[in-house]
Amino acid sequence: MVIDRLDVTAEEFTAATGWKLEPRGACQDDVCVPLPPLDVDAEGRFDATVVADCLGMPIAHDETHGLWALGPRSGDRRVLDSARLPDLVLSDFDGNAFDLASARGRKVVLVAWSSW
């Protein structure tokens, strides 16, 4: 997700990355990554780069528009952490939501195509 400031609240960080900030660290599903003590201001904002760095999330910046994007966890890892299908909801061409989990109970070949 693209953000327009690097000092974020815990809610904003979760919305941007899916990772929740808990007393034991940044957590998602069964995984928790320990964090150093965060310098949180009166509005509940902290430096997102500190948490992103602990999680191995690179940050890209656009100076002209004052925007940042947090990339996926990366480093000595692969695209898939496990073979479990992640939560993923896409839309059809009419804008109707389609939850891939709705196909549970059947085999699915998920094919990506493109006009290009």
Partner 1 sequence: MSPKGVDIVTVALDTDVEAARPFHDAAPATHASLVDPGHELVAHFGMTNAPFAIWIDEDGTIVRPAEVAFAPRPPDAERPDQSSFVAQLPERQRTIIEGMTANIGDTDRYGAAVRDWADRGADSPYVLSEAEVVERSRPRPAEFGLAAAHFELAQHLHRCGFARDAVPHFAEAHRLDPTNWSYHREALSLVDPEWGQVYERDMLSEVEAVGIETFYPALDM
> How many whole angstroms from its chain centre is CA 95?
23
59 binds partner 1 (CB under 8 A): yes
30 binds partner 1 (CB under 8 A): no
Task: Kindly tell me which of 32 and 69 has the beta carbon lying closer to partner 1.
Answer: 69
Task: Kindly tell me which of 7 and 53 has the beta carbon lying closer to partner 1.
Answer: 53
Structure tokens at 59: 């940050």
Instruction: Judge contact between 31 and 40, C-beta under 8 A.
Output: no
Q: Is 2 helix (H, G, I), strand (E, B) or coil?
A: strand
74 binds partner 1 (CB under 8 A): yes
* Residues with Cβ within 8 Å of residue 39, at least 6 apart in sequence: 46, 47
Site for partner 1 in 39-58 (CB under 8 A): 56-58
To partner 1, the closest distance from the beta carbon of 13 in angstroms equals 15
